[in-house]
Structure 1
Amino acid sequence: MTITVRDIAANPALEVRAVAGHRGLDRPVRWAHVTELHDPVHWLRGGELVLTAGMGFGGTATERRAYVHRLHDAGCVGLGVAVDAWTGGVPAEILAEAERLGLPVLQVEGETPFIAVVETVAEHHAAERTREQSRVLAAQDAMARAALRTGPPGVMSELASATHGQTLLLDRDGMTSVAVPRAEPPWHALVRASVLDRARRPRGMTVLEDGEAAILLQTLGSSGRVLGWLALRSPSPVSAHTRMLANDAASLLAVDLLHSRQARRTPYRERAPILRAAALGTPLPASLLTLPEPPWEVVCLPCADPHALLDEAADALVDVLGDTDAARRVGLCVVDDALVAVLPDHRPRHGERLRTALSGLAPGAGACGARGPADLPSAVDRARHAADDGYRHVDDAGAWELLRSSVPPEGMRAFERAVLGALREHDARHGTELVHTLRHYLDQGAQVEATARELGVHRNTLRSRLRVAERVMGRPLADARARLELWTALHLEPMPCHDGTWHT
């Protein structure tokens, strides 16, 4: 609670009454300041109740009106004037100008010294700080107990209650884990945009402006990989106590997330020696290998510190496979200087996504399929030899890779010009996308409906493009040889897509 000019005027211990500017009586008083300067503005910061005996008012009506105007422009919330038998009342020009500006004027009468007014304001603020500290301590205790009872949802609820705000807990990808109130608020988009801006991703506490409110965005995790973010939206300006509670809540949430991370990593560490033995060729009962249902994708990630990479991979599996039973059954182990992961074998390949999630720690990865435990040693060996910058699967280095590597660049370019030259010239001249359309059409097995869906166009639009392509090429797409030559030319070397990426 704040103390207002009205509170001071109504205090029975003070002989003070309001004589002008009544419409400003509810202004909060930051401090009470005694001064007899003619122009005290340089010494004021705003929010003061100025107390004076009137020595600085000036001798003329113009000077007195200017005095009141200076105080008003400086942000003062009121003017207290001492009156007695010697000074008389408050000058009429002071009262008139204060009434016009809505600046309260208090007449300090009788035996009330200015120090009594100053002490009243000081004692109120001291008591308020004590009350606020008590509220903070109570809120800290409530959040700590909530962390033990209900975990993050309880901490978020207590924080929102203590700060009269709204809270969001976001995971590493900026997705909402907990929201108080439960409905996802409109300001979530602002928070998520800040979190996903990797070039300026916040670390520590960041303050975002949201109209008349402020959003405190706090990183969870003091060092290393960010565990998530806490967002608190509260009225602006944000008090120091609100920041303190947000920091305390972030610490409690980080501890909970760290505990969850350690609990998640432990099973992978415990199973690693068994998987390593199987990967090195030791015959083991299948019951000892707690892995996803075969077939598997065996991924090998060479790196400088594969043991540290095992823990990071355990964390990344939730991003790659979701919080699923398959993710919990994935096998991780270290073989020589590489991390080996045994993943479910599905399309799109999970190994490529895992390598992307660990790109800052492992420069590349190789992968190979395995039908069961007996295939693990050979799969690990083949995946290790396939490892390269980025991601490479042994199956992708089959006959097609052999063909591509055997064709010299000049021959590749000559073949591409012979097959696609007329189409590329038409695209360049007319701004069409015939080559891009044919690439998707052939990759979709010449299925019109599937291609139209992938390109996001109507099927009649696609049919029209295909007729134009046939006319430009001078060959029908129904000709199997024409389709074979087109597909080969489109895949022999990387080709730019309409969105700026590259097909390979």
Structure 2
Amino acid sequence: MLTVADVAAASTLGLSVAAGADGLQREVTSAHVSELTAPGDWLRGGELLMTVGLVLPMELAECRAYVSECAQAGVAALALGLGHGLPYKSCPEPLRIAAQECSVPLLTVPDETPFIAITKWVFAAIAAQERAHLQRAMEINRRLTAVATSSAPLAALLLAWSESSATPCVVCDSTGRLVGATPVTPADVVRRALQAASACPPDQTSWAMVGEFEVHTVGATVPLARIMLSADMDSTSRSSSTVLVSLIALDIERRDLSGRAERERRSQVFTQLLRPGIKRERAQQLAAAVGLDAAYYQVAVVAADDVDALAFRLQSGLESALLRVIGGTVEVAHPDLTALMDALQTHAAGLPSGIGAPTAPDTLAVSAMQARSLVPVSARLGRIVTASEGATVSLLLSLGSPDAVRGFADAVLAPMDQLDPRERLELVRTLEQWLRVNGAWDPAAARLSLHRNTVRNRIDRIAQLTGRRLDDGDDRMELWLALKARAALPQ
């Protein structure tokens, strides 16, 4: 960057600083001559504006107006020509005062220095700096290219970049997990970069500016990774950043391509394991072939419009999972229900999702069948539904619309709704636990930490309020369904 200080220090020009010394670090982008008293419309910012003050009234008010307009237009500095045959042989005091007040550097040009010499010097210096920047950028590019074929290209590229540029670079996968960062990058910078990546839409595949970072997405159709570069970089780093991003993207896409065959093989094994009636010995062989060593797995089925993008995100979040795409759904088998639920909530939020019961590898078809049947139920409820709750919820929903289900629950439980809230809560809790143990008094009393007679009294009270005979199976079922209805579709 060429500054006013650089121009003022040029020995061949012989310029002097008359005012505004605190602005000498302003960047000079060009040199321009104008004798206009209102030159603002002709300026673009960064100019070293030269004048002899031919028509400028050297009164303080006029000088203030002139310098203020130049400052608003973004001039880097003013240069006043002095000497023989010119209006002024020394710097007029009103102009010097105005420049000092506006913090605009004011240089004086001696008689022996023509304005054209300053113009040529400025543009020659800018060109020299640009050549130097280009040479440094080419050297950085050569270093980056040289390490791109190493055994660990990403780490080598980040190291080479850190040795050549002060611009931090952070790389994360499509799920937002940190993959790599330039050495000694502060932890808070890495954290902010990951936050910038997470702010991008999951399906974004273009460049974006997020806060203080440039976010470059790797992947033409499905995001594979994101590369975050601090936007505050010098011209040399900016010239080389495209090469860095391209080489990192090339390494990531190469690794994705090399892993695609393995993912396809695991998908085919998953398909075979889902065949009904597969023999246990064959299922064990297939499971061992892809490293499945857990005793039980549950299958999740998710419906989505963009199944390929969803499949990639789930695969990235569940590296040990079996996964396949069937029509408009993604099917996943995983041994850890908690991890599976977390992945669905993170990468398939709002999508209809069902999870079957845990089964051995030779009976995965059962879990998959359950999960598929729960997808419509999940669409109605707006949340993930598991097999442990699916049968009851499905039955409740089959009764009709949510309003009809709530109406049924209210009709059955309304007598208890009129009670004091504390008494109602005690009765509802007692009824639920008693029904869970199929009307057995002692187990219900143990669950509630009550005496069995207290449980009997409460159940008799419920029978009186609701008009249900609790020794009748149909009446018990109605109460149980009403409780489940309220749990599934709360007000």
TM-score w.r.t. structure 1 length?
0.68
Contact 2:176–2:197, Cα closer than 8 Å, also in 1: no
> What is the SS of the residue equivalent to 1:148?
coil
Q: Hey, what does 2:251 align to over in structure 1?
A: 256
Matched letter for residue 317 of structure 1:
Q
1:108, distance to aligned residue in structure 2 (A): 1.9
Contact 1:313–1:354, Cα closer than 8 Å, also in 2: no
- Pick the aligned partner of 2:315 from 314, 317, 322: 317
Q: Hey, what does 2:488 align to over in structure 1?
A: 495
Q: Hey, what does 1:37 align to over in structure 2?
A: 36
> What is the SS of the residue equivalent to 2:122?
helix
* Corresponding position: 1:132 with 2:170: no
1:247, distance to aligned residue in structure 2 (A): 3.8
Alignment of 1:18-417 (within 5 A): 18-58=17-57, 62-87=61-86, 88-149=89-150, 150-160=152-162, 162-180=164-182, 181=184, 183-185=186-188, 188-189=191-192, 192=195, 195-196=198-199, 198=201, 203-209=205-211, 214-221=212-219, 223-235=220-232, 242-270=237-265, 279=275, 286-287=284-285, 289=287, 290-291=289-290, 292-293=292-293, 294-297=295-298, 313=311, 316-319=314-317, 321=318, 323=319, 326-327=320-321, 330=322, 343-348=333-338, 350=340, 370-373=359-362, 375=363, 379=366, 382=369, 386=373, 388-389=375-376, 400=392, 404=396, 416-417=409-410
> What is the SS of the residue equivalent to 2:188?
coil
Could you list the per-position Cα deviations for residues 360-412 of structure 1 after superposition, in whole angstroms to 9, with x for gaps in the alignment? 9x987785765354x56x649956984754587777666x5786588788996
Name the % identity: 22
Matched letter for residue 233 of structure 1:
S
1:495, distance to aligned residue in structure 2 (A): 3.3
1:217, distance to aligned residue in structure 2 (A): 2.1
Structure 2 CA distance for aligned equivalents of residues 304 and 77 of structure 1: 55
Contact 2:58–2:95, Cα closer than 8 Å, also in 1: no
Structure 2 CA distance for aligned equivalents of residues 73 and 190 of structure 1: 35
Matched letter for residue 484 of structure 2:
H
Q: Hey, what does 1:450 align to over in structure 2?
A: none
Structure 1 CA distance for aligned equivalents of residues 393 and 85 of structure 2: 106
Could you list the per-position Cα deviations for residues 407-453 of structure 1 after superposition, in whole angstroms to 9, with x for gaps in the alignment? 788996676336643565679x99x9959x959x969x99xxxxxxx
Structure 2 spans left out of the alignment, 5+ residues = 379-383, 438-449, 464-469
1:68, distance to aligned residue in structure 2 (A): 3.6
Matched letter for residue 37 of structure 1:
L
> What is the SS of the residue equivalent to 1:178?
strand
**Distance change >3 Å, CA 3–CA 243, structure 1 → 2:** closer
Could you list the per-position Cα deviations for residues 46-83 of structure 1 after superposition, in whole angstroms to 9, with x for gaps in the alignment? 22221122213236565445434433443323222222
- Pick the aligned partner of 1:421 from 414, 423, 447: 414
**Distance change >3 Å, CA 192–CA 345, structure 1 → 2:** same
Structure 2 CA distance for aligned equivalents of residues 197 and 472 of structure 1: 56
**Distance change >3 Å, CA 367–CA 108, structure 1 → 2:** same
Contact 2:222–2:312, Cα closer than 8 Å, also in 1: no
Q: Hey, what does 1:7 align to over in structure 2?
A: 6
Matched letter for residue 230 of structure 1:
I
Structure 1 CA distance for aligned equivalents of residues 372 and 69 of structure 2: 81
> What is the SS of the residue equivalent to 1:6?
helix
**Distance change >3 Å, CA 103–CA 381, structure 1 → 2:** closer
Structure 1 spans left out of the alignment, 5+ residues = 447-462, 499-504
Structure 2 CA distance for aligned equivalents of residues 18 and 340 of structure 1: 71
**Distance change >3 Å, CA 172–CA 268, structure 1 → 2:** closer
Structure 1 CA distance for aligned equivalents of residues 258 and 12 of structure 2: 62
**What is the aligned length?**
445
1:43, distance to aligned residue in structure 2 (A): 0.9
Structure 2 CA distance for aligned equivalents of residues 83 and 333 of structure 1: 80
**Distance change >3 Å, CA 66–CA 405, structure 1 → 2:** closer
Contact 2:374–2:390, Cα closer than 8 Å, also in 1: no
Contact 1:21–1:98, Cα closer than 8 Å, also in 2: yes
Contact 2:181–2:190, Cα closer than 8 Å, also in 1: no
Contact 1:38–1:55, Cα closer than 8 Å, also in 2: no
Structure 1 CA distance for aligned equivalents of residues 128 and 336 of structure 2: 65
Structure 1 CA distance for aligned equivalents of residues 43 and 460 of structure 2: 83
Q: Higher strand share goes to which structure?
A: 1
Contact 2:196–2:213, Cα closer than 8 Å, also in 1: no
Contact 1:261–1:315, Cα closer than 8 Å, also in 2: no
